[in-house]
A and B are shown apart, each in its own frame.
Chain A
Amino acid sequence: MTAGPSDGPLCFCRDCLDDLSFTAPRCSACGSPRLVRHRTLPALALAHIDCDAFYATVEKRDNPALADKPVIVGGGRRGVVLAACYTARTYGVHSAMPMFKALALCPFATVVPPDMAKYVRVGREVRTTMQALTPLVEPLSIDEAFLDLSGTRRVHGMIPAKVLAKFATDVERELGITVSVGLSCNKFLAKIASDLDKPRGFTALDQDEACIMLADKPVSFMFGVGPATQERLSERGFRTIGDLQRANEMEMMKQFPAEGRQLWRLARGIDDRRVIADRGAKTISSETTFESNIRDFATLERFLWRLSEKVSSRLKASELAGSTITLKLKTADFRQRTRSQSIPVSTQLAVKIFAMCREMLTKEIDGTAFRLMGIGVSALRAESQANVADMLDLRSAHAERAMDDLRKKFGSAAVIRGLAYEGPEKPRQQ
């Protein structure tokens, strides 16, 4: 007799994975109070996994002296909080908060400058562990992903919930970081679930529970509902998700032709987006927030070159080229300007990216002070499909490849373009 998808334990221990009776207060085998309990547990197979305060957790792992201290990862005078550990969060610090504000709330926090390369490495290790569970892993960012575990029960010899519980303890033991798991029947609910019991949490959520839980949340709680949609919804009297649940599907489609059906379905916890494994990068970008605002072209130009080189080297590393180049600027009063341009032949060359951004930048120089600048390359494709060389300017491409080769051999400081060269160490005598 084979087990149907809905057969299986409704309650088990997260630490020793022993099956328990539905009403057990603690694990009868190991005594752990960390139990997973749900009426439809064996049927749930779609998970959202989110690392807890990822950057901060990694820093604490690597420096045990920080373990019981509030830690904030971020940097620079003008920087923002990239991650705050749970101790720091008790003071009201949260990510994306300006650093000065965070330090006002929690003056004795330890501020650690970010080490992106390290986080990327750890993030990859986590992802590799996920990929051992199912090929359907859709990363959302460096530290979170959706996993579809449908049909993996025979392979693993246990229900998806147990696989995930085991994954969480494995990651904790082997990589030294904690994760929170949300398990449900679709992406939308899984993502909600993972957030319910952070950190080190495990929440199973089915559609009926979700409907009840969502009812009194504002419509903006659903993904895809930004301020504009929220405004339009509230004009028609839809303020909470409950309002949408009570609406008629046809009426919703009439009133909001573009998204009515989707909104109605999401409100009821219905979401049929599939988990798509590794959709690949859509954009490769880099940005920088200046230490102090810049309004002058020559200074911006130097930053622009560095960004172009950074984006270009990432394109080269992933063997990609793109044909849409976007320049992003944020003014001192936080207004964002984005300008983009497309070229018929994709490129990965820093000189080309720079030339196009420079062109766009010249049009934005009007005395405005800028606090941030970024560039992005999109419409990506494999490099091998993008190398129609420029007959009129073969030399600059050759020069750039030669520079790349030199850097590979002697390090990134081996050769610098005149544009980015800031003079010898000592200030020159007039």
Chain B
Amino acid sequence: MKVTVERAQLLKSLSHVHRVVERRNTIPILGNVLVRAETAKLSLKATDLDLEVTETLVAETGTGGSTTVPAHMFYDIVRKLPDGAQIVLEGDGDRSVLTIRAGRSRFTLQTLPENDFPDLAAGDMTHAFSLAAADLKRLIDRTQFAISTEETRYYLNGIYLHGAGSAKSATLRGVATDGHRLAQLDLALPKGAEGMPGVIIPRKTVGEVQRLIEDSEAEIGIELSQGKIRFTIGHVVLTSKLIDGTFPDYGRVIPQNNDKELVVDKKDFEAAVDRVSTISSERGRAVKLALSAGKLVLSVTNPDSGSATEELEVEYASDALDIGFNSRYLLDIAAQIEGEAAVLKLADPGSPTLVQDRDSKGALYVLMPMRV
């Protein structure tokens, strides 16, 4: 194998794929990246057995071939080579080494046989559709924060992507929840996604896809089946296993009849919550919201340090109500609001509260209160 490639291109591709490789690996081959030279192109592939990323870049191929080298070391070498360098990769099948040359630098890396490199064996995908990068990014950005980290309920460790809505206004919906808050975002159902199975995309995959979306103008190809999902983002193809579990019937926790409506200015509200929660030394202390006509009083009391109060002018016309929320969770949700105002629909201090964006459609959040 002999191939010449531009340093900047190689570095960018490696930066995409090497992230998938876990720093600590008990299986040596999983620490490697697969390098394959074909006519006029070079492809790089890395996997952690749940997730596989392949990127193809333009290269000048002398002789084709493939091998695997330690991913992080390869990345570090390329990163340290001078900008603008032309890098020559040359494999020697007999000695199982890969030589990397650029200018006067020369590295020889030990390789492991390509045959040992695992293949995620995606199998047949049953559904294929495409989404605007900006839409997919929004779906991830708005729901990611609510993904549970608790391993006991592994089926909550991802975003549940599925078809929803009625036949007339069908949507592609992403939902994430950890039982204490829930985030849901609807996009128009793209062509090809009709009848797709509901899938749970693992957190790591979600994070990788989010990082790979650089150009929000682009279209992203999505293919999926019962067990796998594949994203095609420019020259990168990311294939991932899905979480094998049943996402709970989240619909029943979304309140339908909350009649007390509160409208707050997003920026003012977020800043006020942030300010009063300074008093809570530990994360997760309660912020009390005292509501009365046209007025919201936020307060935090910490027996160890003191208290904080802030008053906001709001749109509120229902009966007075006192309700408490975890300050961290309230901030997380306030941060999701894209428009100028947030609408909170409340029932009573013990029931879930619905939070929506007044100006932007498709997103909704549910937050469980705390007793204060």
Spell out A's residues near B (CB within 8 Å): 341, 343-346, 355-356, 358-359, 381, 384-393
Task: Let me know if B368 and A388 touch, CB within 8 A.
Answer: yes
Task: Let me know if B370 and A392 touch, CB within 8 A.
Answer: no
Give the top 3 A-B pairs by smallest Cβ distance, nearest first: A390-B179, A391-B253, A392-B179
> B315 within 8 Å of A by Cβ?
no
Residues of chain B at interface, number, CB under 8 A? 27
A341 surroundings in chain B (CB, below 8 A): 151
Task: Let me know if A393 and B179 touch, CB within 8 A.
Answer: yes
Binds A, one of B13-21, B206-214, B257-265, B279-287: B279-287
> B25 within 8 Å of A by Cβ?
no
Task: Let me know if B253 and A392 touch, CB within 8 A.
Answer: yes
CA distance A385 to B152 in the complex (A): 23
Task: Let me know if A344 and B182 touch, CB within 8 A.
Answer: no
What is the chain A residue whose CB lies nearest that of B303?
A: A382
CA distance A358 to B371 in the complex (A): 29
What is the chain A residue whose CB lies nearest that of B285?
A: A385
- Whether A391 touches B371, Cβ cut-off 8 Å, given contacts A381-B282, A385-B286, is no
Give me 28 A-to-B residue pairs in the complex whose CB atoms sit less than 8 angstroms apart, sorted by A's number. A341-B151, A344-B149, A344-B178, A344-B284, A345-B284, A346-B284, A355-B152, A356-B152, A358-B152, A381-B282, A384-B371, A384-B372, A385-B286, A385-B370, A387-B370, A388-B329, A388-B368, A389-B180, A389-B350, A389-B368, A390-B179, A391-B253, A391-B352, A391-B366, A391-B368, A392-B177, A392-B248, A393-B179
- Whether A388 touches B180, Cβ cut-off 8 Å, given contacts A345-B326, A381-B282, is yes
**Could you mark each residue 346-372 of chain B with 1 if its beta carbon is under 8 Å from any beta carbon of chain A, else 0?**
000010100000000000001011111
B177 surroundings in chain A (CB, below 8 A): 391-392
CA distance A390 to B150 in the complex (A): 13
Task: Let me know if B180 and A390 touch, CB within 8 A.
Answer: yes
Of residues A358, A385, A390, A393, which shows the largest number of chain B Cβ atoms within 10 Å of its Cβ? Answer: A385
In the complex, what's the smallest C-beta–C-beta distance from B302 to chain A, in angstroms? Answer: 9
What is the chain A residue whose CB lies nearest that of B286?
A: A385
CA distance A384 to B180 in the complex (A): 16
A381 surroundings in chain B (CB, below 8 A): 282
B329 surroundings in chain A (CB, below 8 A): 388
CA distance A381 to B366 in the complex (A): 25
CA distance A343 to B284 in the complex (A): 11
CA distance A389 to B151 in the complex (A): 18
**Could you mark each residue 54-92 of chain B with 1 if its beta carbon is under 8 Å from any beta carbon of chain A, else 0?**
000000000000000000000000000000000000000
Q: Which DSSP category, helix, strand, loop or mixed, fits chain A's interface?
A: mixed
Q: A384-B372, A388-B370, A391-B352 are in contact. List 5 more A-B contacts (CB 8 A).
A: A344-B180, A345-B180, A355-B152, A385-B285, A387-B371
In the complex, what's the smallest C-beta–C-beta distance from B358 to chain A, in angstroms? Answer: 24
What is the chain B residue whose CB lies nearest that of A393?
A: B179
A388 surroundings in chain B (CB, below 8 A): 180, 326, 329, 368-370
What is the chain A residue whose CB lies nearest that of B302?
A: A385
**Could you mark each residue 80-122 of chain B with 1 if its beta carbon is under 8 Å from any beta carbon of chain A, else 0?**
0000000000000000000000000000000000000000000
B178 surroundings in chain A (CB, below 8 A): 344
In the complex, what's the smallest C-beta–C-beta distance from A294 to chain B, in angstroms? Answer: 22
CA distance A260 to B128 in the complex (A): 65
CA distance A355 to B153 in the complex (A): 9
Of residues B178, B250, B329, B372, which shows the largest number of chain A Cβ atoms within 10 Å of its Cβ? Answer: B178
In the complex, what's the smallest C-beta–C-beta distance from A143 to chain B, in angstroms? Answer: 30
CA distance A398 to B329 in the complex (A): 23
B286 surroundings in chain A (CB, below 8 A): 385
B180 surroundings in chain A (CB, below 8 A): 344-345, 388-391
In the complex, what's the smallest C-beta–C-beta distance from A5 to chain B, in angstroms? Answer: 33
**Could you mark each residue 244-283 of chain B with 1 if its beta carbon is under 8 Å from any beta carbon of chain A, else 0?**
0000101001000000000000000000000000000010
In the complex, what's the smallest C-beta–C-beta distance from A403 to chain B, in angstroms? Answer: 20
**Could you mark each residue 132-166 of chain B with 1 if its beta carbon is under 8 Å from any beta carbon of chain A, else 0?**
00000000000000000111100010000000000
Contact of A385 among B150, B151, B284, B366 (CB under 8 A): B284
In the complex, what's the smallest C-beta–C-beta distance from A325 to chain B, in angstroms? Answer: 10
CA distance A389 to B250 in the complex (A): 15
In the complex, what's the smallest C-beta–C-beta distance from A190 to chain B, in angstroms? Answer: 29
CA distance A356 to B154 in the complex (A): 12
Of residues A355, A356, A387, which shows the largest number of chain B Cβ atoms within 10 Å of its Cβ? Answer: A387
**Could you mark each residue 169-181 of chain B with 1 if its beta carbon is under 8 Å from any beta carbon of chain A, else 0?**
0000000011110
CA distance A356 to B371 in the complex (A): 24
A386 surroundings in chain B (CB, below 8 A): 284
A359 surroundings in chain B (CB, below 8 A): 151-152
A393 surroundings in chain B (CB, below 8 A): 179
In the complex, what's the smallest C-beta–C-beta distance from A305 to chain B, in angstroms? Answer: 15
Task: Let me know if A343 and B150 touch, CB within 8 A.
Answer: yes
A384 surroundings in chain B (CB, below 8 A): 371-372
A356 surroundings in chain B (CB, below 8 A): 150, 152
CA distance A391 to B282 in the complex (A): 23
In the complex, what's the smallest C-beta–C-beta distance from B251 to chain A, in angstroms? Answer: 11
CA distance A336 to B3 in the complex (A): 53
Contact of B182 among A343, A346, A355, A391 (CB under 8 A): A391
In the complex, what's the smallest C-beta–C-beta distance from B351 to chain A, in angstroms? Answer: 10
CA distance A69 to B326 in the complex (A): 59
CA distance A71 to B156 in the complex (A): 55
A387 surroundings in chain B (CB, below 8 A): 370-371
- Whether A391 touches B179, Cβ cut-off 8 Å, given contacts A341-B151, A343-B150, A345-B326, is yes
CA distance A390 to B369 in the complex (A): 10
What is the chain B residue whose CB lies nearest that of A358?
A: B152
**Could you mark each residue 198-228 of chain B with 1 if its beta carbon is under 8 Å from any beta carbon of chain A, else 0?**
0000000000000000000000000000000
What is the chain B residue whose CB lies nearest that of A387?
A: B371
Of residues A341, A346, A358, A389, which shows the largest number of chain B Cβ atoms within 10 Å of its Cβ? Answer: A389
In the complex, what's the smallest C-beta–C-beta distance from A390 to chain B, in angstroms? Answer: 4
What is the chain B residue whose CB lies nearest that of A359?
A: B152
B156 surroundings in chain A (CB, below 8 A): 392
What is the chain A residue whose CB lies nearest that of B371?
A: A387
In the complex, what's the smallest C-beta–C-beta distance from A356 to chain B, in angstroms? Answer: 6
In the complex, what's the smallest C-beta–C-beta distance from A250 to chain B, in angstroms? Answer: 36
CA distance A389 to B329 in the complex (A): 13
CA distance A391 to B371 in the complex (A): 14
CA distance A346 to B369 in the complex (A): 14
A391 surroundings in chain B (CB, below 8 A): 177, 179-180, 182, 253, 352, 366, 368
B372 surroundings in chain A (CB, below 8 A): 384
What is the chain B residue whose CB lies nearest that of A383?
A: B371
CA distance A343 to B178 in the complex (A): 11
CA distance A269 to B316 in the complex (A): 66
